[in-house]
Amino acid sequence: MREEALHALFRNAFPKRRGLTGPGDDCATLRPPKGSLLVQSVDQLVEGVHLLPTAGPSAMARKLLRRSLSDLAAAGAKPWAVQWTVAAPTEKGGAWMRALMHAFLKEAKVWDVPVIGGDLSTAPHVVLTCTVMGLARKAPVGRGGARSGDSIWVTGKLGGAVESGRHRLPHPRLAEGRRLLEKYTPHAMMDLSDGLMADLPRILRASEVGATVYGESVPCNTKASLASAVAEGEDYELLVVLAPRQARRASSDALLQKVGWTEIGVIEKRKGLRWKLDGTLWKPQVKPWGHTW
């Protein structure tokens, strides 16, 4: 199968959208609508790292896009356009490649986000990347605004994403992220891709504050241990820091309550992350998620 035929697939699938041009030229062009802010994020999916080698091309394509969309959710943005890259061995064959392409296009349609471009290369191993562009009505809140006295919230339930297989098809909290950004002005917001133990300290460092998290408050998935809920990644739930008044307002939000909306801790002046379980200090006996070079 010639590369040209694969390109044609994407040119033909491109839906006409105001302000966007599609695949076919060296560059795509983007004209964000007035009053909208363009936000952008990039993510990777490596065969054997983010999915088992036994995962088929369709599972890879779906997880790839959903993980990236989760970053837009954390920015409170609406998906607008996507660009991707595929590096794969020619030995995978044409059927595999077509299945990957069709699955990505299908998933992009599910989330109503046009594929504006991409790049394809041979490689000894499958590495996919996905760049998502979103439109936000307000500037994303980022990680640096948490203040002492704020409360810490999470959407949904945590833990066991890998063991249960949930990590294969995460559900980006897009509607929830937009609701939070537009209505409750969070002081910090991010998606939980590496787990509370790794991700919360990122907010604390960026905001130059500390926190206490109450283990008994952490919402755990069925069959997931508390250790897994605080230390494992791949949940793709939102981690949100709110001022007390906004937290009270958000606590009764029906959209948030529908997916689960739980207060798990408090931001404090004293730096570092402390854990409590039923009133006493607790130290999760697990290593945080992550890579080392």
Between CA 152 and CA 37 the distance in angstroms is 26
DSSP string, 58-98: HHHHHHHHHHHHHHHHHTTPEEEEEEEEEEE-GGGHHHHHH
Letter string b/e over residues 46-57, b meaning 16 or more CB atoms within 10 A of that residue's CB: ebeebbeeebeb
Burial of residue 279, with CB atoms counted within 10 A of its CB: 0-12 exposed, 13-18 middle, 19 or more buried: exposed
254: contact with a second copy by CB under 8 A: no
CB nearer to a second copy: give 97 or 211: 97
Q: Within 171-230, which residues bind a second copy (CB under 8 A)?
A: 190-191, 206
Window 49 to 78, contacts with a second copy (CB under 8 A): 49-50, 71-72, 74-75, 77
Nearer residue to a second copy within complex by CB, 41 or 221: 41
Question: Which CB atom, from 46 or from 277, has the smaller least distance to a second copy?
Answer: 46
User: Candidates 141-149, 207-215, 251-259, 276-284 — which segment interacts with a second copy by CB under 8 A?
Assistant: 141-149
Tokens at 231, concatenated? 């230390």
Closest approach, Cβ 71 to a second copy, in A, equals 4
Structure tokens at 128: 């996919």
| Residue 3 engages a second copy in binding (rule: CB under 8 A) | yes
In this structure, what are the phi and psi dihedrals at residue 25, rounded to the nearest 5 degrees?
-110, 180
User: Does residue 237 contact residue 177 with C-beta atoms inside 8 Å?
Assistant: no
State in angstroms the smallest separation of the CB of 86 from a second copy.
9
Binding segment for a second copy among 86-94, 149-157, 166-174, 213-221 (CB under 8 A)?
86-94
Measured CA to CA, the distance from residue 68 to residue 131 in angstroms comes to 7
**Residues of this chain that bind a second copy (CB under 8 A):** 1-3, 6, 21, 24-32, 37-44, 46, 48-50, 71-72, 74-75, 77, 83-85, 87, 90, 92-94, 97, 116-125, 127, 129, 131, 134, 136, 139-140, 142-144, 190-191, 206, 290-293
